[in-house]
Amino acid sequence: MTGAVAPEVRAAQRRIVSTINASGKLNGDGLALWREANCGEWKATAADISRDLDLLQVPHTIVTAFRFPLASSYSKAMREGEEVRILRRDLPHLVPWMPSLEQTVTDIPEDAPGWDFILFQPRAEGMALAKLVLPTEWPAWSKKQTRAARLVCAECDYDLRDPEDETRLPYDVRLPDQPKRRRPVCGQCCNNGVDEMERLAALAGTSS
């Protein structure tokens, strides 16, 4: 960086570096900072973080992301919050302000999970892809949480987050009487979506 840096920019840098050190989460897609809604009394909100990143000219987005309740919490409700996200390709904008980040970013494994979870959706006209946007913590969810988030096979309870087994990719096969409700099923339990595609195609054929 050349020339003098304005004091408010330096202050933003200090806040961002300590926020990332305390609560930054890296994955294959980039860096995320999660904030519970209405946390402003105790720490920087997503909007505060966003303002600082604007001062540092680091491109970013804010998405709504729900987290599971803390184990110590009486409430069983999901905690609403926001994630400030910096795409991996934009992280070089952050490195001049936080040089230690450079090595950390280089060390992210190529097959690290990202923010999106891809589901195959059988349709009458063929197979479509649907993206579920999840909070950055999803790879660390327990089986119970994964079940609550409906990311296990509805038929055999297989954990659909596991990308290892290619015969058990996740398909969205809905019950005929609940066509609006997402229902993930593994490839083995739904014949890789082929049966559902044929059923929908037959249905579309008879109705036209």
Point out which residues bind Zn ion (CB under 5 A).
153, 155-156, 158, 186, 189
- Region label for 109, one of left (φ > 0), alpha (ψ between -120 and 50) or beta (otherwise): beta
The nearer residue to Zn ion, 153 or 197, going by C-beta atoms, is 153
The nearer residue to Zn ion, 54 or 162, going by C-beta atoms, is 162
Using CA atoms, how far apart are residues 45 and 60, in angstroms rounded to an integer?
A: 15
Q: How far is the CB of 185 from Zn ion (least distance, A)?
A: 6
Q: How far is the CB of 160 from Zn ion (least distance, A)?
A: 8
The nearer residue to Zn ion, 141 or 171, going by C-beta atoms, is 171
- Pinpoint the alpha helices (H) of 24-100: 46-55
Q: How far is the CB of 3 from Zn ion (least distance, A)?
A: 60
Q: How far is the CB of 189 from Zn ion (least distance, A)?
A: 3
The nearer residue to Zn ion, 112 or 156, going by C-beta atoms, is 156
The contacts found for 192-201 with CB under 8 angstroms, 24 or more apart, are 192/120, 193/120, 193/121, 193/122, 193/127, 194/122, 196/122, 196/171, 197/122, 197/123, 197/124, 197/126, 197/127, 200/122, 200/123, 200/124, 201/124, 201/125
Residue 149 tokens read as 């988030």
Q: How far is the CB of 168 from Zn ion (least distance, A)?
A: 7
